[in-house]
Amino acid sequence: MKSHKKIRWGIIGPGKIAHKFAEGLSYVNNAELYAVASRSNERAQAFAKQYRILQVYDSYESLVRDANVDVVYVATTNNMHYEQVKLCLEHGKACLCEKPFTCRAEELEELITMARAKNVFLMEAMWTRFLPSIISVDERIQHNEIGEILRVESNFGFTTEYDPNSRIYNPDLGGGALLDIGIYPVFFALHFLGMPVHIETDAIITELGVDSENNMVFYYDNSVKAELSSSFIQDLPCTATIYGTKGTITFERMWHCPTKIMKTVDGHEYDITPEYRGNGYNYEIEEVCNCLASEKKESLLMLLSESLQRQEILDKIQSFWNLKNEK
Ligand SMILES: NC(=O)c1ccc[n+]([C@@H]2O[C@H](COP(=O)([O-])OP(=O)(O)OC[C@H]3O[C@@H](n4cnc5c(N)ncnc54)[C@H](OP(=O)(O)O)[C@@H]3O)[C@@H](O)[C@H]2O)c1
């Protein structure tokens, strides 16, 4: 790491989420938004002006070649992640990539192998993992506040206009409810329960071959299960609940964002909402900056092996719908 104090970030793909990321970054003391690259010079310039970014590139390669960039945030459509993370790694650049990491587990496996061979930091931007909500609930579960987990429920759904060309519906851009938003309920189940022994799932598939809605049940030993769903055609409650032998913990609406958390034990409800800072994206950015400052090549909170397991589960689920052949 160079001698300058702040970690210098470059953004590839200044679209919708990149704006939230840039806002989040402004809350992080040891981070500086230094460069942006877009295929469109106009888009890059407008983004740079809004966030006072010094370096503007109209090619991704120019950004990764900039020796002053410490870490690249890949915020393009899902189909592009594999190629662009590879570009970063080829140039020895640390990289934070939006979820889902890639569209196939085998692509991610290749990227992880490459990052390790080149000794370069790599992480998936599963921002929810770093929120105080998840961190504080982890602690409560470890302290046995709701007993052993028997079941989890998690859903994420909203109605959208059907546009086959949009990022979320176009298979060529890595569309589908599972990859776009279903990854959050899948994360929730894997985080609190680990890998399932058996999965049952069904989905509504569009004419172009992506899911517009899905339901999944993950089965575990001792009758433990996770009931998960995501949808582009139904307004789901967007809540997540952990049912334990002694009580329950509920993440209220927009559970994957900073939100209210309630615990119920013996019929008594407790508000256990932790304190939040910033817009929520700052937590994952802080984690990356801290890892880089201490020369770590992987976050212990978001292991590459966890991302790979999640990606394998996403592949498996899609293979049940005959959308993808499992490796
Ligand atoms: N963490 C979260 O909360 C969250 C929320 C929403 C989305 N996401 C993830 O963030 C990523 C981007 O989502 P977004 O909503 O920000 O997307 P977006 O605004 O539609 O596009 C982001 C960037 O992707 C590139 N792009 C767009 N359409 C493309 C196309 N047809 N072909 C090639 N590149 C294209 C563009 O890069 P150029 O400017 O270089 O052309 C664009 O600036 C996705 O992976 C998504 O899953 C995460």
Write the pLDDT tens digit of every residue in 222-257: 999 999 999 999 999 999 999 999 999 999 999 999
Ligand 1 mean position, distance from CA 189 (Å): 26
Ligand 1 mean position, distance from CA 77 (Å): 4
pLDDT (mean) for 142-163: 97
- Ligand 1 test: best mutation among 23, 59, 76, most atoms within 8 Å of CB? 76
| C-beta neighbour count of 235 within 10 angstroms | 9
- Ligand 1 test: best mutation among 42, 79, 167, most atoms within 8 Å of CB? 167
Q: Which two tokens stand for residue 33?
A: 């938004």
pLDDT at 326: 59
Which is catalytic among the residues 6, 16, 99, 118?
99
Cβ pair 276, 135 in contact under 8 A:
no
Lining ligand 1 with CB less than 6 A are 13-17, 38-40, 43, 75-78, 80, 98-99, 125, 127, 167, 173, 180
pLDDT at 324: 72
Nearest-atom number in ligand 1 for the CA of 174 is 45
Give 32's strand partners.
8
pLDDT single digits (tens) 175-216:
999 999 999 999 999 999 999 999 999 999 999 999 999 999
pTM: 0.97
**Domains identified in the chain and CATH numbers:** 7-126 (3.40.50.720), 132-275 (3.30.360.10)
| DSSP string for 61-99 | HHHHH-TT--EEEE-S-HHHHHHHHHHHHHTT-EEEEES
Is position 99 annotated as part of the catalytic site?
yes
pLDDT of residue 1 exceeding 80: no
- Ligand 1 test: best mutation among 77, 79, 183, 281, most atoms within 8 Å of CB? 77
What are the helix (H) ranges across the chain?
16-25, 41-51, 60-65, 78-90, 105-118, 132-142, 177, 183-193, 281-293, 304-320
| pLDDT, the chain, mean | 97
For 101, the 3-state DSSP assignment is coil
Ligand 1 mean position, distance from CA 12 (Å): 9
